[in-house]
Amino acid sequence: AQKVTQAQTEISVVEKEDVTLDCVYETRDTTYYLFWYKQPPSGELVFLIRRNSFDEQNEISGRYSWNFQKSTSSFNFTITASQVVDSAVYFCALTEAAGNKLTFGGGTRVLVKP
């Protein structure tokens, strides 16, 4: 069975600080995909990034970056120079090779104060 764990329930930072969100996953599949989604107060989940299990290259996209380490089953996500609009709940998610049936973690609430 697949499992995603986000140990941090809430993080509070001051604007312009960096925020790193931890995610640890479990799966028996050799091919899988990892995601980060953002959920603002309006409720809809907004796609941020996706990474497949064969690509451990870490990248930066604007103020977002991620660190995928297969050896430790971790997929951490960093927001650089946080802004008040980044305040939301962030979810890490995992799915098998195909089908988009996501297993979500419990979420981390990020509060960015001005």
Partner 1 sequence: ETGVTQSPTHLIKTRGQQVTLRCSSQSGHNTVSWYQQALGQGPQFIFQYYREEENGRGNFPPRFSGLQFPNYSSELNVNALELDDSALYLCASSHGITNTGELFFGEGSRLTVL
Q: Which residues bind partner 1 (CB under 8 A)?
A: 4, 6, 33, 42-47, 50, 52, 91, 93, 95, 97-107
User: DSSP readout, 7-37?
Assistant: --SEEEEETT--EEE--EEE-S-SSEEEEEE
Output the smallest distance, CB 47 to partner 1, in A: 4
Residue 3 vs 16, nearer CB to partner 1: 3
Helices (H) and strands (E) in the chain, counts: 0, 12
- Which one, 30 or 114, has the nearer CB to partner 1? 30
Distance CA 110, CA 19 (A): 8
Nearer to partner 1, 42 or 71 (CB): 42
Provide the 3-class DSSP secondary structure of residue 85.
Answer: helix
Q: Output the smallest distance, CB 32 to partner 1, in A.
A: 9
Closest approach, Cβ 16 to partner 1, in A, equals 28
114 close to 16: Cβ distance less than 8 angstroms = no
| Smallest distance from partner 1 to CB 112, Å | 20
